[in-house]
């Protein structure tokens, strides 16, 4: 989940990878490690960091990618760049959902 409207450029709020192929939902309140492996977000933390725009309305983009491998072979805490590089050769398709949020 990214905020492309963050004041200093895109802010990544959430990275989770190696979600099992038979996972059909993301239950409300579920911890990231219960559905896959957490990467490090732009706040340098593991797990989900909810929306909190400093002002105005921001877009929040969720991207889900289907891969042809069950695991990227990365460990918890991997950076967005490492996750995207590992995914690059295995992409089957992607979907995006964009929502808007304001405080």
pLDDT in tens, 31-68: 888 899 999 999 999 989 999 999 999 999 999 999 99
DSSP character string of 58-86:
EEEEEEEEEESSS-----TT--HHHHHHH
The Cα angle at residue 97 between residues 68 and 4, in degrees rounded to 5: 105
pLDDT at 99: 96
Q: Is residue 75 part of a domain?
A: yes
Q: Is residue 27 part of a domain?
A: no
Q: Is residue 91 part of a domain?
A: yes
Q: Is residue 26 part of a domain?
A: no
Q: Is residue 25 part of a domain?
A: no
Query: Global pTM?
Result: 0.89
Range of the domain at 9: 2-19+32-51+58-102
Over residues 59-79, the mean pLDDT reads 97
Q: Is residue 79 part of a domain?
A: yes
Q: Is residue 76 part of a domain?
A: yes
Token digits of residue 20: 């099992």
Q: With beta carbons less than 8 A apart as the criterion, state whether 41 and 13 touch.
A: yes
Instruction: Indicate which CATH number applies to the domain containing 78.
Output: 3.90.280.10
Task: Give the count of domains, the chain.
Answer: 1
CA-based end-to-end distance of the chain: 18
Q: Is residue 24 part of a domain?
A: no
Q: How confident is the model at residue 27 (pLDDT cuts 50, 70, 90)?
A: confident
* Mean pLDDT (the chain, rounded): 94
Nearest to 17 by CA among 100, 99, 90: 90
């Amino acid at each position: 989940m990214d905020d492309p409207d963050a004041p200093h450029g895109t802010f990544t709020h959430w990275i989770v990878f190696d979600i099992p192929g038979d996972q059909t939902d993301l239950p409300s309140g579920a911890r990231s490690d219960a559905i896959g492996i957490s990467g490090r977000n732009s706040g340098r933390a593991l797990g989900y960091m909810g929306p909190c725009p400093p002002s105005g309305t921001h877009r929040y983009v969720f991207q889900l990618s289907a891969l042809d491998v069950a695991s990227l072979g990365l460990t918890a805490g991997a950076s967005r760049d490492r996750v995207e590089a590992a995914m690059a050769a295995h992409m089957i398709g992607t979907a995006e959902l964009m929502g808007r949020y304001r405080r």
